[in-house]
Amino acid sequence: MDLPTDHSTRVHPHTSSVGADDRAKLLGQNPGIVWFTGLPAAGKSTLANAVEVTLHNAGKHSFLLDGDNVRTGLCRDLGFSDEHRHENVRRISEVSRLMADAGLLVLVCAVSPFAADRKLARIIAGPHRFVEVHVHVPAAVAERRDPKGLYKLARQGAIRNFTGIDSPYEEPLNPDVRIDTTQCSIADATALITDLLIHD
């Protein structure tokens, strides 16, 4: 994939008179990005959805960016090679930053298997708080869950570059929050994360 990167002579960013702080003040909340990473079938989407419901019920303005949903639109031109995975995370990170600039609490569900990409996401977040949530589950348990049947297809060779089978997952060494979904209930995990966001 060859994407143009030199825009130095043609692009001149516009500075708005209404800034991120102004939008956050209007919404009455501290915006930020919560990045859920983990193996396929770890429980990322289930947890993020529960967190969004709780935030919504608490009167907070949020938006959930789920990896599969993003790949049907913004990233529909990307596959699952390492190069395309890097670009997928970069795009999601940039959109997340824009949403946080709008004052929202942005919940991102993305396998994002590479540590360098997650580091980039944190950098792109800029001044916004960035909470990396490692939704952990042993690989064998994730494969047993397999709600979409993808592990089975990967084992059969029907799909390639599947994280946890023939593509690596680099576990976060120092995530802001680590949830083991074999030990912690969705309700308890949701309470932990939403309390962090609402009272921070």
Structure tokens at 11: 């692009």
pLDDT tens digits along 59-103: 999 999 999 999 999 999 999 999 999 999 999 999 999 999 999
pLDDT tens digits along 175-194: 999 999 999 999 999 999 99
Nearest residue to 42 via CA among 121, 117, 96, 112? 112
How far apart are alpha carbons 61 and 32 in whole angstroms?
11
pLDDT value, residue 7: 61
How far apart are alpha carbons 33 and 63 in whole angstroms?
10
Residue type, 2: D
Give the catalytic positions in this structure.
112
Q: Which residues are CB-neighbours of 170 under 8 A, at least 6 positions away?
A: 113, 114, 115
Domains along the sequence of the chain with CATH: 20-137+169-199 (3.40.50.300)
pTM, two decimal places: 0.91
Residue type, 51: V
Coil vs helix vs strand at 78:
coil
Write out the H or E segment, with its range, that includes residue 64.
strand 62-66
Q: In what order do the strands lie in the sheet with 105-109?
A: 62-66, 105-109, 32-37, 129-136, 177-180
